[in-house]
Amino acid sequence: MQVLSELLSPVRTVSRAPGSSKKRLFEILARVISEDNPHLVDTDIFAQLIARERLGSTGLGAGIAIPHCRIANCSEPIGCLATLEEAIDFDAPDDIPVDILFVLLVPEEAHQAHLDILARIARLFSQSDFCEQLRSAPDSETLYRRATGWTA
């Protein structure tokens, strides 16, 4: 099964998200996640994403970032996909600004599952055709369908 269909919901898929910085974008996406998962608090999500980012950039290169963290009160892995209105600096290894983000939250105790899911997501986002399909999505509904329906 395709990994994104296991992690995403239409509500947690945002096309052309605003955000002028990494921190501002994390605030916006933390709110999107918490509105869909009331047991998760947006300020906790934000704090954990920032703490993880301080350890090293989650920018992969080619305009892709996969911010991720383990978080309390998270009962199963969940994701949030966003394309950005304008690419932002993410300290990626290739210095290319990021315009696609996939935020991954996993339960605190899910160490191996965290790594396994990250690897699957990274492989998916390394496919340039997949990323171009996401970048060209005109709205959130299309973005969700393209992300979860990808089979290549």
Catalytic residue IDs: 68
Q: Give residues with Cβ within 8 angstroms of 28, minimum separation 6.
A: 14, 17, 18, 19
How far, in Å, are 13, 22, 115 from residue 143 at the CA level?
7, 21, 25
How far, in Å, are 1, 7, 33, 52 from residue 55 at the CA level?
31, 24, 22, 5
Q: E strand or H helix at 35, and its extent? A: helix 22-36
Cβ atoms 11, 38 nearer than 8 A = no
